């Protein structure tokens, strides 16, 4: 099974389990089926829950300006986004397993000193 096929299967499982879509199995979701509207009927609350799930599952950070219909159109577009956000790493593996730095680690030398009281 290719990494792309496995990623799409994993995304479908995430959608069904994370959003608690009763009566729907991952196998019933077509790769190109619309996730919102006439497709699965997801709404904006589902989108936010999906963002959290993707960040937790794949160790990626999704910025607010990246949350739009082009990414969340279908499982195909989600898979492309996840692959791109992971830098083409091993799909489904935690960031440390790919040798890539963990994007959740925050170290910015420019932020040092913030929060210190100013001297008068």
User: pTM value?
Assistant: 0.71
Q: Taking all residues of the chain, what is their mean pLDDT, rounded to a whole number?
A: 79
Handedness of CA 55, 59, 62, 67 (dihedral sign): negative
Q: What average pLDDT does range 41-57 have in this prediction? A: 94
| Whether 103 contacts 59, CB under 8 Å | yes
Provide the Cα torsion 103, 6, 47, 73; round to 10°: 110
Interval 70-91: pLDDT, tens = 899 999 999 999 999 988 644 4
CATH number of the 3-87 domain:
1.10.1200.10
Domain boundaries, the chain: 3-87
Least confident piece of the model among 37-41, 55-59, 110-114: 110-114
* pLDDT greater at residue 102 or residue 44: 44
């Amino acid at each position: 099974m290719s990494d792309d096929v496995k990623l799409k299967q994993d995304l479908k499982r995430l959608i069904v389990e994370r959003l608690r879509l009763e009566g729907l199995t991952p196998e019933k979701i077509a790769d190109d089926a619309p996730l919102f509207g006439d497709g699965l009927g997801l709404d904006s609350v589902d989108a936010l829950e999906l963002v959290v799930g993707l960040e937790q599952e794949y160790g990626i950070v999704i910025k607010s300006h990246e949350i739009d219909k082009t990414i969340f159109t279908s499982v195909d577009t989600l898979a492309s986004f996840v692959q791109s956000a992971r830098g083409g790493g091993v799909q489904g593996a935690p960031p440390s397993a790919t040798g890539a730095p963990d994007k959740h680690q925050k170290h910015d030398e420019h932020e040092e000193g913030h929060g210190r009281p100013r001297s008068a």
